[in-house]
Amino acid sequence: MFELKRTPFHERTSKLSLPQNWRRWAGYIVAGSYDLVLDREYWAIRDAAALIDITPLMKYIIEGPDAAKLLHRMTPRDVLKMAVGQVFYTGWCDDDGKMLDDGTISRLSDTKFRLTSAEPSLRWLAMNAVGMDVTISEVTDQVAALSLQGPKSRMILNQVCAKPLDKLKFFRMTEAKIAGVSVTISRTGYTGDLGYEIWMPADKALTVWDALFEAGRDYGIVPCGILAMDMARVEAGLFMIDVDYTATNHAWIAGQKSTPFEMGLGWTVALDKPGYFVGRRALEREHKEGSAWRLVGLEVEWEGLEKLYASVGLPPQIPGMAIRASLPVMHNGKQIGYASTSTWSPVLKKYIALAHLQRPHHEPGTRVAMEVTVEHHRLHAPATVVKTPFYEPEWKRK
Amino acid sequence: MAAYDAIIIGAGHNGLVAANYLAKAGRKVLVFERRGIAGGQLVTESFGDGFSADSLHASAHLRPDIVRDLGLNLPAASARSPYVCLLSDGKRLTIDADLARARATIREFSAHDAERWPEFVAFMERAAAFLDAAYRTPMPRLPHFAPVREGLPLAGLLWKLRRLGGRDMFRIVRAMSMSAEEFTDNWFESDALRAAISALAIHGVTLGPMSAGTGFTLMHNWLNRGGLAHRPVANGVGTIAVALVDALKARGGDVRTSVEVQSIIVDRERATGVRLASGEEIPAPLILSAADPRHTLLKLVGAAELPPEFVWQAQSIKLRGCVAKVHVQTNGQHGLPEGTLAVAPSIRYLERAYDAAKYGEISKEPYLEVTTNGNVVSIHFQFAPHALRNPDWNAANGIVEQRAVDTLDAHCPGFKASVKRMQVITPRDLESTYGLSEGDLNHGQLILDQIFFMRPLPGWSKHATPVDGLFLCGSGVHGGGGISGASGRNAAKAVLKL
Amino acid sequence: MAANQYDAIVIGAGHNGLVAASYLARAGKKVVILERREVVGGAAMTEEIFPGYRFTEFSYVVSLLRPEIIRDLELPKHGLKILPLPSTVTPLDNGDYLGSWDDHDLTRQEVYRHSPKDAEAYDEYSRVMARAAKAIKPIIGMVPPDPSSLSPRDLLGLLKLGQYARSLSEKELYRIAKLVTQSSADLLDEWFEFDALKGTKSASGIIGTFLGPRSPGTAYVLLHHYMGEIDGAFRAWGFAKNGTGGVSAAIANSARALGVEIRTNAPVDKVIVKGGVAAGVALQNGDELRAKVVLSAADPKRTFLQFVDSKHLPDDFVQSIKSFRVRGSSGKLNIALNALPDFTCLPGEGPLHRGAISISPSVDYIERAYDEAKYGQFSKNPYIDMIIPSMIDRDMAPPGHHVMSCFVQYAPYDIEGGWDDAKRDAFGETVISTIEKYAPNIRQCIVGKQVITPKDIERIAGITGGNIFHGELLLHQLFFFRPAPQWADFRTPLPGYYFGAAGAHPGGGVMGAPGKLAADAILKDVD
């Protein structure tokens, strides 16, 4: 009653987490990390397999003759064209074309979809469904979810699933059975590596966890907290709500809002799709006129950074985890944007950041400067605008 | 190529007024009416042999400028009959349109009030004139109005308000948000007189005399009616609708009755025509709907074509029918005096009648307004809420009939014995027969958050909708509520300016 | 300077009078405050009615005390401590409850239990209201201009107001326009489906008004609850250490430190008028005090109809003040307890006891309570807002014992037949039996109680009509209409006479804004 929710995996995760650094996520507590340093979890994502409890993701089942119509109207993607078994990633907007949230849509059948979101979306779904023949149910607590990410993730799943997942394409999903438990598996994730997300009934969650763990032992499976995932998602160029953009309904002022174009999600906006969708007019206008801002990748130039530290007699010091603090980005001494998340990338051996930059500074190759605090002084390290993702292994989409 | 420049949905008086203005400007217009007769709320209908009545409104007057602009040939309104309040103790408070006579009768209740009566009437006339001007002024969108095109008329209105002088200006503006109870308390001491006035304030709206904002509805009703009492239209209010239809036809416009528009065809936020119940599609670049905003937006357009926030707001439009009409054919011996009779003996009586509506019940002791036309007695009954807690409308019909007759009989003994036949129209009938969502005569409650620039919705008072080419011209838009034609006129003018 | 010669005289040592006096003294003026009673604080007062049990007699929470007042008068230094009042629990008739806690996730979980739809609506509603509060806040801190006047000051004020309005987005403006005109029931119906949630929220819209939740204009008051959120760290929502008397004491300490002379037991008879301007104050004991500035922090009726002869004021103005509505509608029960009341919905001692407990199961419940008041009766099933101050501030009652403060609505000032002891007892009994439905042991716990009717508020605190806001928060009694059209700028038709209490803009609550704004007006005029 007076405590935060625990996921169905808590019985396992609570015993595995050494630092017991619980993080709040959408009303739940989940492990920040399992090890005292993040390296093992991070490298599991990039080199073996990491098992992440993502149950707190909001999950909704949308079912009925108008289910496709509802999501088609609510999001800028052409949901009417979606195949059964396909998964769409998308943001969605208010009618001013400003981002409300982002998540995935899975087409479970002709008339049945699963939507995941970061923020509660029942009300928005209901507001969009007025007059439609569709039922919307929230299943966040009933459906447990695990993310198995890393190059070895397929091999592990092939061990436990009745039929191999070799044919499951990127952003597709399938029904499967793990240790007798009916699950759905989607080839999706938040790490930019080969990976899968497994959706299962909450009451059978531990069976699946145990089976994966057992099968994964020989492949280096590691329980992974959200801190390591946070580093990986920046490398993958994936942004996070209320960190890298402010949901339009959370914003206090207009300047805090972002659009899909500004977030680099122009590819999800199907302006020519049939029918009305929320934000259509505003997005059409923005498409025509161009966006004022753009979320881009920044690579801090090591030599420049080294120089700043060297001037006080120190080697460069980069925090070993993703930092969610706003850092000013400058161009010729004038602020032209800010980085919203920055991290050391162990796989790239680079200091990288996701940054919002004003037009025209967001073109790849533009040289800018990002604030770094060196021995209590705020200085600017040279950086270059790059395309995201920063890191994309060849096996991600294969 | 579309055969029509504009399609108007609904041949109520506002639809017809708008159609006439457009036709006058040379547009080819077509009006669709669901019912077999045109007129909407402005109909005189027969309920059997020798039993006909103005179905919903005992009197109706289009704004004089509309009559003039459209060159309508209307029967002259009859002289104003007195307003007679039937009090609990058998006494009557008769308020004549003639100030001297009214003072004489009011003096029986309070010398102080009699003294103030002429001043009060003058104040109400000023307030009504101000409201009339406001209803003529397009309400700008706040706050980014274009300084010249939109700002000027508004500046004119504000100037008019200022010219009234600080005293009147404050009095009118403050009185709008007051309750009728408080407003009348500022003028009068006699509860009977205060109740008589308060009755007009709550006429047709789901509010009690103690509700804030009934100061405004008093002014509004005073404007539309032209005072406390009705001035019935010779041969019935339906003659006005007939005159509007004739004028439209003379201008080359077309009215098709018994044709129901099932939906407005929308393609990516632009209206392209209408689809009839028969399945036929009629294209037109311009659609004006005189149906209520909620019906127009959520039923005819459909939520799927509209922004979710807007849909939510449209769903939140307060429509609250609470009026039932009971038409009574008598044997001629009803014994009721001439004029507009009101059963509104005290402010508390009216407030209690309203209390019932809050909880979805029919008033045990209703507020009645009664007019006679030969053998036929028409009773306006409040409150019979559309949102009945126990929605058994067959039973409700009987209850309304019985309470109407019993209440009137209690004040005018012998009335009951004269009853031959009755025809009751409840909010449910207003919805199913007359096409008014939730039986709301005003297409949306006249409450402070649904008037002026907030009617029908904040930001949408200028008749436009999120759907290009679709405009609202019914009572639910600025200028509307009651019979005046103002919203039809305003909508047509807005459209012609495009 | 002669002994009874001052720069300014302030009538009434309520919190507004104290604030005004402090600001005047801070600007170097010689100021005296005259208080009718033997204690300062007005309606913000703590008294030990039963030995050891301290009642925060009338007002019981601090909600909107202006941050700039806290800063300028250095109130923390003078003893102001605002303790957290973290929750509201509404016991339900089915034995369950609806809680709202100080943590977003916990509250969401709690509302979700009753209605998933409302849980989300609740978040969104809170955000929308907070933004509206942010938008309306500068208007509250503004001196209302007179729109009918052509004076430069008013035109400038109108321009400022217009400019500010233009700086807001269309959405914000409409939201404010709707909030100001809507009924709280209508507003809440747009958002929520769960009755108890709507009932509890709507209750905050009717506090101190003589209106029901279905009356237009009640939605605006709901905003007040969200004003605090914008103050950030200065957020002053909670229970003041030592009750609201603690707030008054802190301001009084600050006033004294600034050199204000506070005279208690000094009831004012008349404002002295010489040559058409205010020249001082005559006390009931015959003493006369002289000053060029007199500021009344009493209610508007006493300020203009009692202290000043009508002949010094224009007829219109007097008429406006006479028709200014000040109908008291609330009462209070202050109860001394020897144990904690045990609530069936959450048995045992728990978080419920540390926050507000609200008897507001539905909008209809409150509306029906109002219906009775309309016709001159106190509510048979009243809305009650309870807190147990001793759970928040242990110094309020002897160890192991408690005090409970119950704000009750409706209790009309003009009760049919007038208030007498029998009716007061019946009123108290009604409240206790209402609480008993949810906390069956309450009666056994009671060791003493004080029942306060609007008549008592008038008698003790000297507020005409017993309205806790000195005047109903009606739309036409706000902003440039408060207390009278054309006189909302804290000045009065009598030169030298000023008005700065809850009956002036921006109204009641332990806010201090009218006092500060009045002092500002004075300083602008005299310097």
Are B65 and B78 in contact, with CB atoms under 8 Å apart?
Answer: no
Contact A94 B309 (CB under 8 A): yes
Entry field: residues in chain A: 398
Q: What is the pLDDT of residue C138?
A: 85
pLDDT at C314 over 90: yes
Contact C116 A122 (CB under 8 A): yes
Are B210 and B181 in contact, with CB atoms under 8 Å apart?
Answer: yes
- Residues of chain C with pLDDT > 70, as a percent, come to 98
What are the structure tokens assigned to A128, written together? Answer: 């969009």
ipTM, two decimals, is 0.94
The mean pLDDT value of chain A amounts to 97
Instruction: Find the CB nearest C190 among B173, B210, B316.
Output: B316
For Cα atoms C333, C336, C341, give the angle at the middle one, nearest 5 degrees: 90
A122 touches chain C (CB under 8 A): yes
Q: What is the pLDDT of residues B220-261, one digit of tens each?
A: 999 999 999 999 998 999 999 999 999 999 999 999 999 999
Distance from CA of C128 to the nearest CA of B (A): 13
What element of type H or E holds C293?
strand C288-296
What's the CA gap between B245 and B318, in Å, rounded? 31
Neighbours of chain B (3+ CB pairs under 8 A): A, C
SS3 C64: coil
Residues of B in contact with C215 (CB under 8 A): 210-212
Strand extents, DSSP E, C379-514: 383-387, 402-409, 446-452, 497-499
Distance from CA of A122 to the nearest CA of C (A): 7
Report residue A223: phi and psi, to 5°.
-70, 135
List all residues of chain B from 438 to 457 with a beta carbon under 8 Å from chain C: 447-449, 453-454
- Residues of chain B with pLDDT > 70, as a percent, come to 95
The model's confidence at residue B409, banded by pLDDT at 50, 70 and 90, is very high
- Residues of chain C with pLDDT > 90, as a percent, come to 78
The model's confidence at residue C397, banded by pLDDT at 50, 70 and 90, is very high
The model's confidence at residue C152, banded by pLDDT at 50, 70 and 90, is confident
Residues of C in contact with A254 (CB under 8 A): 169
Q: What is the pLDDT of residues C179-230, one digit of tens each?
A: 989 999 999 999 999 999 999 999 988 988 899 999 998 998 888 777 766 6
How many Cβ pairs closer than 8 A exist between chain A and C?
31
Contact C166 B447 (CB under 8 A): no
Are C48 and C27 in contact, with CB atoms under 8 Å apart?
Answer: no
pLDDT at B450 over 70: yes
Instruction: Find the CB nearest A131 among B266, B304, B310.
Output: B304
Q: What is the pLDDT of residue A369?
A: 98
Neighbours of chain A (3+ CB pairs under 8 A): B, C
Q: What is the pLDDT of residue C154?
A: 82
pLDDT at A177 over 80: yes
Q: What is the pLDDT of residue C139?
A: 83
Whether cis (ω within 30° of 0) applies to the bond prior to A389 is: yes
**Average pLDDT, stretch C85-94?**
94
> Which chain A residue is nearest to residue C104, measuring alpha carbons?
A27
C137 touches chain A (CB under 8 A): no
Instruction: Report residue B447 CA to chain centroid gap.
Output: 13
Question: What's the predicted TM-score (pTM) here?
Answer: 0.95
What's the CA gap between A363 and C403, in Å, rounded? 67
Q: What is the pLDDT of residue B151?
A: 62
Q: Positive or negative, the Cα torsion across B451, B453, B459, B462?
A: positive
Contact A276 B303 (CB under 8 A): no
Edge-first strand listing for the sheet containing B281-283: B261-266, B271-276, B281-283
SS3 C405: strand
Distance from CA of C489 to the nearest CA of B (A): 16
Three-class SS of chain B: CCCCCEEEECCEHHHHHHHHHHHHCCCCEEEECCCCCCECCCCEEECCCCCEEECCCCCCCCCHHHHHHHCCCCCCECCCCCEEEECCCCCEEEECCCHHHHHHHHHCCCHHHHHHHHHHHHHHHHHHHHHHHHHHCCCCCCCCCCCCCCHHHHHHHHHHHHHCHHHHHHHHHHHHHCCHHHHHHCCCCCHHHHHHHHHHHHCCCCCCCCCCCHHHHHHHHHHHHCCCCCCCECCCCHHHHHHHHHHHHHCCCEEECCCCEEEEEECCCEEEEEEECCCCEEECCEEEECCCHHHHHHHHHHHHHCCHHHHHHHHCCCCCCCEEEEEEEECCCCCCCCCEEEECCCHHHHHHHHHHHHCCCCCCCCEEEEEEECCEEEEEEECCCCCCCCCCHHHHHHHHHHHHHHHHHHHCCCCHHHEEEEEEECHHHHHHCCCCHHHCCCCCCCCHHHCHHHCCCCCCCCCECCCECEEECCCCCCCCCCCCCHHHHHHHHHHHCC
Report residue A358: phi and psi, to 5°.
-75, 150
Are B319 and B167 in contact, with CB atoms under 8 Å apart?
Answer: no
Q: What is the pLDDT of residues C405-414, one digit of tens each?
A: 999 999 999 9
Instruction: Find the CB nearest C117 among A4, A5, A122.
Output: A122
Residues in contact with B467: Cβ distance below 8 Å, sequence separation at least 6, in sequence order: B264, B266, B269, B270, B271, B301, B305, B306
pLDDT at B148 over 60: no
Distance from CA of A129 to the nearest CA of B (A): 7
Report residue A74: phi and psi, to 5°.
-80, -35
Query: CA distances (Å), B426 to each of A26, B41, B49, B146, B435, in order?
Result: 50, 14, 22, 45, 12
Q: What is the pLDDT of residue A345?
A: 97
Chain C residues bordering chain B (beta-carbon distance below 8 Å): 146-149, 165-166, 168, 170, 173-175, 177-178, 181-183, 186, 189-190, 211, 214-217, 316, 323, 325, 364, 367, 371, 374-375, 474-476, 481, 485-486
What's the CA gap between B307 and B446, in Å, rounded? 25
Distance from CA of B173 to the nearest CA of C (A): 8
SS3 C345: coil
Query: CA distances (Å), B368 to each of A392, B199, B349, C186, in order?
Result: 78, 9, 11, 27
SS3 C491: strand
**Average pLDDT, stretch C446-471?**
95
- Residues of chain A with pLDDT > 70, as a percent, come to 100
Contact B454 C323 (CB under 8 A): no
List all residues of chain A from 192 to 251 with a beta carbon under 8 Å from chain C: 249-250
Q: What is the pLDDT of residue B141?
A: 66
Other CB atoms within a 10 A radius of the CB of residue B190 amount to: 18
Q: Rg of the Cα trace of chain A?
A: 21
- Among B271, B300, B270, CA closest to B287: B271
The residue among B112 and B79 whose pLDDT is bigger is B112
Residues of C in contact with A122 (CB under 8 A): 116-117, 120
Distance from CA of B361 to the nearest CA of C (A): 13
The residue of C127, C171, C179, C181 whose CB has the most chain B CBs within 10 angstroms, and thus the best one to mutate to test that interface, is C181
How many Cβ pairs closer than 8 A exist between chain B and C?
100
Contact C116 A252 (CB under 8 A): no
**Average pLDDT, stretch C129-148?**
85
pLDDT at B155 over 80: no
Q: What is the pLDDT of residue C137?
A: 84
Q: What is the pLDDT of residue B2?
A: 79
Distance from CA of B300 to the nearest CA of A (A): 11
SS3 C447: strand
Instruction: Find the CB nearest A126 among C117, C119, C134.
Output: C117
Contact B304 A280 (CB under 8 A): no
DSSP state of C256: H
Q: What is the pLDDT of residue B166?
A: 62
> Which chain C residue is nearest to residue A29, measuring alpha carbons?
C105
What region does C470 belong to: left with phi over 0, alpha with psi -120 to 50, or beta?
left
Query: CA distances (Å), A290 to each of A268, A282, B18, C58, in order?
Result: 16, 11, 41, 60
Q: What is the pLDDT of residue C232?
A: 66
> Which chain B residue is nearest to residue C165, measuring alpha carbons?
B143
Please compute, for residue A333, the number of CA atoms within 13 A of its CA located in the half-sphere on the CB side.
0
Q: What is the pLDDT of residue C234?
A: 65
The mean pLDDT value of chain C amounts to 93
Q: What is the pLDDT of residue B165?
A: 65
pLDDT at C304 over 80: yes
Are B228 and B82 in contact, with CB atoms under 8 Å apart?
Answer: no
Contact A127 B302 (CB under 8 A): no
The model's confidence at residue A228, banded by pLDDT at 50, 70 and 90, is very high
Three-class SS of chain A: CCCCEECCCHHHHHHHCCCCCEEEECCEEEECCCCCCCHHHHHHHHHCEEEEECCCCEEEEEECCCHHHHHHHHCCCCHHHCCCCEEEEEEEECCCCCEEEEEEEEEEECCEEEEEECCCCHHHHHHHCCCCCCEEEECCCCEEEEEEECCCHHHHHHHHECCCCCCCCCCEEEEEEECCEEEEEECCCCCCCCEEEEEEEHHHHHHHHHHHHHHHHHHCEEEECHHHHHHHHHHCCCCCECCCEECCCCCCCHHHECCCCCCCCHHHCCCCCCCCCCCHHHHHHHHHHCCCEEEEEEEECHHHHHHHHHCCCCCCCCCCCCECCCEEEEECCEEEEEEEEEEEECCCCEEEEEEEEECCCCCCCCEEEEEEEECCEEEEEEEEEECCCCCCCHHHCC
> Which chain C residue is nearest to residue A28, measuring alpha carbons?
C105
pLDDT at B313 over 70: yes
Q: What is the pLDDT of residue C144?
A: 87
The residue of B306, B317, B460, B470 whose CB has the most chain A CBs within 10 angstroms, and thus the best one to mutate to test that interface, is B306
Largest CA distance in chain B: 70
What element of type H or E holds C300?
helix C300-301
Residues in contact with A146: Cβ distance below 8 Å, sequence separation at least 6, in sequence order: A9, A51, A52, A53, A54, A55, A197, A198, A200, A205, A208, A209, A212
Contact B210 C325 (CB under 8 A): no
pLDDT at A381 over 80: yes
Residues in contact with B384: Cβ distance below 8 Å, sequence separation at least 6, in sequence order: B322, B323, B324, B357, B362, B363, B366, B396, B400, B426, B427
Instruction: Find the CB nearest A95 among B268, B302, B307.
Output: B307
Residues of A in contact with B315 (CB under 8 A): 130
Largest CA distance in chain C: 70
Instruction: Find the CB nearest C109 among A5, A121, A138.
Output: A5
The residue of B144, B188, B448, B461 whose CB has the most chain C CBs within 10 angstroms, and thus the best one to mutate to test that interface, is B448
Residues of A in contact with B307 (CB under 8 A): 95, 278
